[in-house]
Amino acid sequence: MVREVVPMSAVTTDPDDAEVARRFAAGDEQALALAYERWAGQVHGMAVRAFGPGPDAEDVTQQTFVSAWTGRAGYSAAAGPLPAWLVGICRHKIADNWAKLERQRRSAEAVAADARSAAAPTGGDGLAGAVADRVLLLGELNRIGQPQRRIIELAFFEDLTHAQIAARTGIPLGTVKSHIRRTLERLRDRLEVDGAALRS
């Protein structure tokens, strides 16, 4: 009796997209891995178009899949295919991250404004105050090493965004942000001390 030989490929065939989606919605972790393998590139591509290559795009990609997995009960195959649902989540994550970056930019500007205000001596005309402000600021910048000084100059004198600074300097975006935050905090503290000395 001759037995029929089943090709190995027929046994190990990957599930189709609909099956991955069904298993994903049911909480199958292998389906999560398959979904990431199939559609992470598309999600990451959207994030790169929004933020450029780097940690922000990687964060959005990760956030998209984490959010999809934790919220999988909200997915319905009847409403559309799983990759389309992932794209929708990615759009929300991109919008959330743009809002977060805008808040960080405003916060950095507020810190810089506070530092300038603290450094400005009371009394005298506005020009004298502005000159003293600039002298103090430049003096503090002279104490800062590279690349922090260059990053601050690009951010506040050339008005570049964090992403533009990263592209121009070749420094990772996350490093640019942390340099700006730490440098501004240090500048604020120093300028508050110097400004208080000027006013006394």
State pLDDT tens for residues 105-158.
Answer: 787 777 777 666 655 555 445 555 555 555 556 666 667 777 777 787 777 767
Calpha distance 17→184 (Å, rounded): 49
- Tell me if the pTM is above 0.85: no
Model confidence band, residue 176 (pLDDT cutoffs 50, 70, 90): confident
- pLDDT score recorded for residue 120: 52
Helix axis angle, 82-119 relative to 29-51, nearest 10°?
50
Name the nearest CA neighbour of 47 among 140, 126, 163: 163
- CA-nearest of 83, 90, 34 to 60 is 90
Task: Kindly list the domain boundaries of the chain, sorted by start residue.
Answer: 16-99, 120-199
Q: What is the pLDDT of residue 129?
A: 53
Mean pLDDT (the chain, rounded): 77
DSSP class of residue 125 equals -
- Above 60 in pLDDT, residue 195? no
Q: CB of 118 within 8 A of CB of 191?
A: yes
Query: Phi-psi region for residue 123, left (φ > 0), alpha (ψ -120 to 50) or beta?
Result: left
- The whole-number average pLDDT for the span 17-39 is 93
> Would the pLDDT of 21 be above 90?
yes
How high is the pLDDT of residue 124?
Answer: 47
Q: What is the pLDDT of residues 65-99, one digit of tens each?
A: 999 999 999 998 888 899 999 999 999 999 998 88
Q: Are 69 and 32 in contact (CB under 8 A)?
A: yes
Which residues 6+ apart lie within 8 Å of 90 measured at CB? Answer: 43, 46, 47, 60, 61, 64
For residue 161, is pLDDT > 80? yes
36 vs 175, which has greater pLDDT?
A: 36
- pLDDT for 167: 83
Q: What is the pLDDT of residue 128?
A: 54
Angle formed by the axes of helices 55-70 and 29-51, nearest 10°: 140
Q: Give the pLDDT mean for 20-24.
A: 93
Contacts made by residues 147-156, CB under 8 angstroms, sequence distance 24+: 147/171, 147/179, 148/179, 148/182, 148/183, 151/176, 151/179, 151/180, 151/183, 152/179, 152/180, 152/183, 152/184, 152/187, 155/108, 155/180, 156/112
Share of the chain above pLDDT 90, in %: 32
Annotation: CATH topology of 16-99: Rna Polymerase Sigma Factor; Chain: A (1.10.1740)
CA dihedral in degrees (168, 169, 173, 174; nearest 10)? -160
pLDDT band at 5 (very low <50, low <70, confident <90, very high): very low
User: Could you tell me which CATH class the domain 120-199 is placed in?
Assistant: mainly alpha
**159: helix, strand or coil:** coil
Q: Would you state the structure tokens that stand for residue 70, as one six-digit string?
A: 């934790």
